Chain A
Amino acid sequence: MELISSKLNIDFVGFRRWAYLISLITLLISLVFLFGKGLNFGLDFSGGAVMQLRFPGAAPIAEIRTALGHIGLGAAVIQEFGSPEEILIRLHQDPDAKEQEASKVAQKIIDTVSPLATNGKVELRRVEFVGPQVGRELTINGIWAVVYSWLAILLYVGIRFEFRFAFGAVLSLVHDVFITLGFFAVTQKEFTLVVVAAVLTVIGYSINDTIVVFDRIRDETKRLRQQPLSVVINESVNRTLSRTIITALTVVLVLIALIFFGGEVIHDFALTLLLGIVVGTWSSIYVASPFVLEWERWHPSKPAS
């Protein structure tokens, strides 16, 4: 079976200016939202407390809200979580509150909402508390993790290939990261530690894709020695396209399973990856390789014959 014809010859290079435009617009939208609206930082980064409760029947959210208002926790965000029985209560960091108080607040909440469950017991499924100091550290660590992964890739690709390839690869990764973050800024979905893991995985996937194309370019350069770089790149992208699509497809199959059956935590992780794979595949074709081409135009590696 063959989904992608082996004789396929799409002019990727010819389309590249349009692709730049699409990438730039997407990036711009992402940046505008990132710096305008910002990310909706979850507990891990903002600090605060989260409680997940399960009620024997559908959770009476309105009543819970009133009850919590009575004990001075009106600012708490209450939302359904995964199913009507489960709710998530979010408390933002109160700078005046003592950090040890988190568990007491949790107990107080349980005591308050328990009487609202008439036909059984309210179950405490999860409590998470992150102090402001740890929140800051996790944010900094997250940023460093991404930056270090760029550096590591710059170094490895620079050594294994050439540095113009390395810069192209890292540029495409920067592109992927900002668009993925932009998605979170636009949708205002909660940005958690798990999402950071997903972003790093996207980096891993995208670089994998880029390397495959680069590797092919290296091969084809030997074979098509007389041809200009644009032809070599086109040939390489076309020849690896079948693999690119099939791999993306299998990963997407897995992700769909995760999205539908993996539960709440995995859901966001998988969704981020799904987006990242689309963006990552695009960037290895339209950002990484064209960068090498543009570089070649500005700094020809060999005298024009």
Chain B
Amino acid sequence: MRQFPLWKSILSIAIVLISILYSLPTLMGGVPSWWPGWLPAKTVYRGLDLQGGLYLLLHVETEKAVEQAAENLVDETRLALRKGKFRYQSIKREGRDGVDLKLPADVAKAEVITLLKEEFRTAVIEETADGARVRLAAKEVTELKKFAVDQSIQTIRSRIDQFGVSEPSLQKQGEERILLQLPGLNDPARAKTLIGRTARLEFKLVDEKGDLSAALAGNIPADDQLLYEERGGKKGQPVTKQPLLLKKRTNLTGDLLTDARVNFDQFGEALVSITFNHQGARKFAQLTGEHVGERMAIVLDDKVYSAPVLREKIEGGRAQITGNFSMEDAHDLAIVLRAGALPAPVTVLEERTVGPTLGSDSIRQGVLSSIIGGALVILFMGIYYKGLGWLANIAVVFNVFIVLAVLAGMQAALTLPGIAGVVLLIGIAVDANVLIIERIREELRLGKSPFAAIDQGYDKAFLTILDSHVTTLSTALILFQFGTGPVRGFAVTLIIGIVSSLFTSITLTRMMLYYILRNRRVQKLSL
């Protein structure tokens, strides 16, 4: 039999020992107290389907952020015209990203355009038949969209952090998507509401002169909007919806908040008290001072929470949001207000929630079937191929160690299909060994000596094993590229397993054979 180089032996043994060390924490189900600190302590990270949790794919409606910017442009255009002392017929948003300005015939169009060009250097200004059009530049739109997604990620992250989820994962996917994975949640529905809420807080004046009944009939004044205030709904009370006619113009938004906390009123009802920053406090004081006697609505995501009458100018920048909150509602509302509003609404494209008990059931079933499947294979190999079969079995077991070790080391997620992948891997690893043993058998039949048969068997099987592993590896890589979630987990275990199977079948068994047989005079191989 050919020499087995010493460096190869040392390397192989090192790989095996390191793998065992890295897989032990997982196999023991955690690190015991005597485990020295310098040893690896990471266990395999379980995917969401195994530990339970929430998987969310969100779409950020970036067009809405663009629309919002165009709305702001409308206000700015109005201000600019007022500053330049020009009269205008109408200013309104046109399309997603533009403002349409209509001027009376006697106003000098050219002068207005010069003014607008000076005022909005980045925007595109065009002349129209009866006025002008201001449009956001394409570059600005792209940036707005990008900013909306990045800002959404930040805001959602800060909401989750305050909610208290361990190991959340938040990734941008493509241009407008966010992939969110929250393992081990107790109340996924609540977390989802918290994440998906736009949380746009607005203060708007109630249009006291407006005709509410006409508005309800569909005849809403141009500068007004109809929103509803929900009351009741707690302790079995029926929910009533109170319509309110509000001025469209937003006087103050939640951007200027510095803090939001849960508090209680004199009856012990939960409420959220908010504190404005310096600028916000000034605006708030001015707003409340100018409209004493009128009602001001506190609107969150187009829902009126309350519309108290302003009794006096409110200084100090503090306000309260009441609305029949449960403790949880108030707590979550305070979180979203502190974290800030999403720059654009988000919609759920895909959601997967796994309850914690389903996860642990899956692990139990996965582990049980792996052990039974593995045991059947090991028994079969041992009986069918005897000595060499048992050698192959050792290789297969080491293969599982290596996969666990790499998974733990890389902290790649092990999913339920991933466990199936481990089991399939046992099949692949066994196949490589079967190829070798069958080849050795053939060589023996041709009358070769045991040692020569071993050398020849390994040599001839090598290319076959390499070819078959590379092709299987290529399908696994494609699976990884195209798969999502759990399927990806399957691909990961398969990829690691195929590579380690090459090592265990070709190098490891060979080494073991060499050290077992080298000082003996073997007449007959056990296979």
When the two chains form their complex, are residues B471 and A263 in contact, meaning their CB atoms are under 8 A apart? no
- Chain B neighbourhood of A100, CB < 8 A: 196, 347-348
- Chain A neighbourhood of B424, CB < 8 A: 201, 251, 254, 273
Taking the nearest CB of chain B, how far is it from the CB of A237, in angstroms? Answer: 14
Quick check: is A190 within 8 A (CB to CB) of the other chain? no
- Binary interface encoding of chain B residues 30-57 relative to chain A, with 1 for a CB under 8 A from any of its CBs, else 0: 0000000000000000000000000001
Contact residues of A between 175 and 203, Cβ < 8 Å to B: 193-194, 196-197, 200-201, 203
Quick check: is A133 within 8 A (CB to CB) of the other chain? yes
- Chain A neighbourhood of B441, CB < 8 A: 6
The docked-state distance in angstroms from the alpha carbon of A162 to that of B192 is 55
Taking the nearest CB of chain B, how far is it from the CB of A207, in angstroms? Answer: 5
Quick check: is A204 within 8 A (CB to CB) of the other chain? yes
Quick check: is A270 within 8 A (CB to CB) of the other chain? yes
When the two chains form their complex, are residues B475 and A149 in contact, meaning their CB atoms are under 8 A apart? yes
Beyond A99-B349, A250-B427, whether A106 also contacts B189 by CB under 8 A is yes
Taking the nearest CB of chain A, how far is it from the CB of B380, in angstroms? Answer: 6
Quick check: is B420 within 8 A (CB to CB) of the other chain? yes
Closest Cβ neighbor of A131 among chain B residues: B349
Beyond A1-B384, A250-B430, whether A152 also contacts B475 by CB under 8 A is yes
User: Which of B262-270, B325-333, B353-361 binds A?
Assistant: B353-361
- Binary interface encoding of chain B residues 465-499 relative to chain A, with 1 for a CB under 8 A from any of its CBs, else 0: 00110111011101101111011001100100000
When the two chains form their complex, are residues B483 and A197 in contact, meaning their CB atoms are under 8 A apart? yes
Beyond A204-B476, A250-B377, whether A52 also contacts B471 by CB under 8 A is no
The docked-state distance in angstroms from the alpha carbon of A258 to that of B365 is 9
When the two chains form their complex, are residues A254 and B376 in contact, meaning their CB atoms are under 8 A apart? yes
Quick check: is A9 within 8 A (CB to CB) of the other chain? no
Quick check: is A288 within 8 A (CB to CB) of the other chain? no
Quick check: is B281 within 8 A (CB to CB) of the other chain? no
When the two chains form their complex, are residues B348 and A102 in contact, meaning their CB atoms are under 8 A apart? yes
Chain B interface bracket (under 10, 10 to 19, 20 to 34, 35 or more): 35 or more
Beyond A200-B475, A262-B365, whether A270 also contacts B348 by CB under 8 A is no
- Chain B neighbourhood of A129, CB < 8 A: 348, 350-352
- Chain B neighbourhood of A200, CB < 8 A: 475, 478-479
When the two chains form their complex, are residues B478 and A145 in contact, meaning their CB atoms are under 8 A apart? yes
When the two chains form their complex, are residues A208 and B468 in contact, meaning their CB atoms are under 8 A apart? yes
- Chain A neighbourhood of B362, CB < 8 A: 263, 265
Beyond A123-B357, A131-B349, whether A203 also contacts B369 by CB under 8 A is no
The docked-state distance in angstroms from the alpha carbon of A253 to that of B371 is 12
When the two chains form their complex, are residues B478 and A160 in contact, meaning their CB atoms are under 8 A apart? no
Set B193, B352, B370, B471: member contacting A208, Cβ < 8 A: B471
The docked-state distance in angstroms from the alpha carbon of A55 to that of B116 is 67
- Chain A neighbourhood of B193, CB < 8 A: 103
- Chain A neighbourhood of B494, CB < 8 A: 201, 204
Quick check: is A153 within 8 A (CB to CB) of the other chain? yes
Listed A/B pairs (16) with beta-carbon separation below 8 Å: A1-B385, A125-B357, A126-B353, A127-B352, A129-B352, A130-B349, A131-B349, A145-B483, A156-B471, A193-B484, A197-B479, A207-B472, A208-B468, A216-B464, A251-B431, A263-B369
Residues of chain B whose beta carbon lies under 8 Å from any beta carbon of chain A: 57, 188-189, 192-193, 196, 347-355, 357-358, 361-362, 365-366, 368-370, 372-374, 376-377, 380-381, 383-386, 416-417, 419-420, 423-424, 426-428, 430-431, 434-435, 438, 441-442, 445, 460, 463-464, 467-468, 470-472, 474-476, 478-479, 481-484, 486-487, 490-491, 494
Knowing that A126-B352, A270-B420 are A-B contacts, what are 20 other residue pairs whose CB atoms are under 8 Å apart, sorted by A's residue number? Answer: A124-B353, A125-B355, A130-B349, A134-B349, A149-B475, A156-B471, A157-B471, A193-B484, A197-B483, A207-B471, A242-B438, A247-B430, A254-B377, A256-B373, A257-B370, A257-B372, A266-B365, A266-B369, A266-B419, A273-B424
Give the 9 A-B residue pairs with the shortest CB-CB distance, closest first: A257-B373, A145-B482, A263-B365, A254-B373, A261-B369, A251-B427, A129-B351, A262-B369, A257-B372
